[in-house]
Structures are given as C-alpha cells and as structure tokens.
C-alpha cells in the first residue's frame, strides 16, 4: 500500500473517513453538495480539499466553525442519512454566553453609574456567576437541540404546520426561502 500522502490527500481522507463524528473547528468550507461546483462555494483556498456531502461517511457533522458545510450539502447529507445542524445551532452556546454576559453587564451598569458598585466588585461578581451562566447556556442549548430532534422525529406529520409557519415568516419579511434553500 501507499506509505506517503500529501497534506491534501490526508485531509481528503479525513473528510471521507467512516467515523461517528466529523467536527469542523476552523475556517473554510469543506463540504459542498454534489449539485454545486467549487466556484458556487466561493472558497477558492479549499477547492483542492473540498468533497461532496455524498463522499462523507461520518454519521454526524458538528461545527465549531462557520460555513464548514454549504446549506445544500447539509440537505444532501441529511437526505443520505447523516445528521447535522446548521453552524448557527452548533455555535449557539458561544453566542448565548455572550448575550447573557452583556445582559448582566447592562443590569449592573446602573449600580456602577450610581457609585453603588465599583468595577473590581462587578468583575468579581461576574467571575462568581461563571458556573451559573454556564449551566444556563448549556440548558438553553440542550433544549434547542432537543426541540430540533423532536421536530425531525415527527417528520412529515408536521409538514402542514411547518409550511404555514414558513409562509407566515416569509409574509413578515423574516424568512427568505431562496436564501435558506427551503422549498416553496
């Protein structure tokens, strides 16, 4: 067998490996749909490495990155039996943590302006809240992914409700089906 490989060959082999979890944690789009070209993806730096969703043999794709997988590739991977969320879902804990931190700082700002709370005391309080904030964020994330899993499990049983919901969001200008690659 082959005893040497180029970096591109190694990365290609990793993307195509039969694993439980393929985790993206860096910059770049590494999976595209079989109906897309590398030019469609718009990430020339990773053209040589990128594979199609149908090449992936992982059971689950997770993302600590952004845009590691195109939307069409997510759909194709899911239709082929794989499991994946959007990168926004997989990254939501970080965003939620920042939101909670900002909201706490806003809540404490009034006391600081009135001289009732000094910055060192505020920082100590924030540090003491780390565990509680972490627990809250993890609970939020768990509930979000549970809701998605339940919706997926119900599948076509909820299609009429989901269709009406998308229509309502679209009517309010909160959803663009073409951008999100959703059916009409």
Residue 101 lies in a domain: no
At 176, is the pLDDT very low, low, confident or very high (cuts 50, 70, 90)? very high
Residue 143 lies in a domain: no
Mean pLDDT, the chain, rounded, equals 92
For the stretch 22-31, pLDDT in tens is: 999 888 999 9
- The domain tally of the chain equals 1
The pLDDT value recorded for residue 44 is 96
Task: Please check the confidence at residue 184 and state whether its pLDDT lies above 80.
Answer: no
Residue 70 lies in a domain: yes
Residue 42 lies in a domain: yes
Contacts of the segment 99-106: beta carbons below 8 A, 24+ positions apart? 100/133, 100/136, 100/137, 101/126, 101/133, 104/129, 104/133
Expressed as residue numbers, the domain containing 27 is 1-90
Residue 147 lies in a domain: no
The pLDDT value recorded for residue 91 is 83
According to DSSP, the residues that pair with 21 across neighbouring strands are: 60
For the stretch 40-85, pLDDT in tens is: 999 999 999 999 999 999 999 999 888 899 999 999 999 999 999 9
Can you tell me the distance from the alpha carbon of 88 to that of 86, in angstroms, rounded to the nearest whole number?
Answer: 5
Residue 43 lies in a domain: yes
For the stretch 92-137, pLDDT in tens is: 888 899 999 999 999 999 999 999 999 999 999 999 999 999 999 9
Residue 183 lies in a domain: no
At 179, is the pLDDT very low, low, confident or very high (cuts 50, 70, 90)? confident
Q: Average pLDDT, stretch 10-28?
A: 95
Task: Please check the confidence at residue 90 and state whether its pLDDT lies above 90.
Answer: no
Can you tell me the distance from the alpha carbon of 68 to that of 31, in angstroms, rounded to the nearest whole number?
Answer: 7
Residue 65 lies in a domain: yes
Pairing type for strands 31-32 and 21-24 reads unpaired
């Amino acid at each position: 067998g082959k005893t040497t490989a180029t970096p591109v060959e190694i990365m290609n082999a990793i993307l195509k490996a039969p694993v439980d979890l393929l985790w993206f944690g860096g910059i770049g789009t590494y999976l595209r749909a079989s109906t897309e070209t590398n030019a469609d993806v718009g990430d020339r730096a990773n053209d040589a490495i990128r594979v199609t969703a149908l090449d992936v043999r992982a059971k689950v794709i997770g993302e600590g990155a952004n845009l590691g997988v195109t939307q069409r590739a997510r759909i194709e991977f899911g239709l082929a039996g794989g499991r994946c969320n959007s990168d926004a879902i997989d990254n939501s804990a970080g965003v939620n943590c920042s939101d909670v931190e900002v909201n706490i700082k806003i809540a404490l700002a009034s006391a600081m302006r009135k001289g009732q709370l000094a910055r060192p005391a505020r920082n100590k309080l924030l540090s003491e809240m780390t565990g509680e904030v972490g627990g809250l964020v993890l609970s939020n994330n768990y509930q979000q992914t549970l809701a998605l899993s339940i919706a997926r499990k119900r599948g076509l049983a909820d299609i009429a409700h989901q269709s009406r919901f998308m229509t309502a969001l679209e009517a309010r200008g909160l959803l663009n089906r073409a951008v999100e690659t959703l059916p009409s």
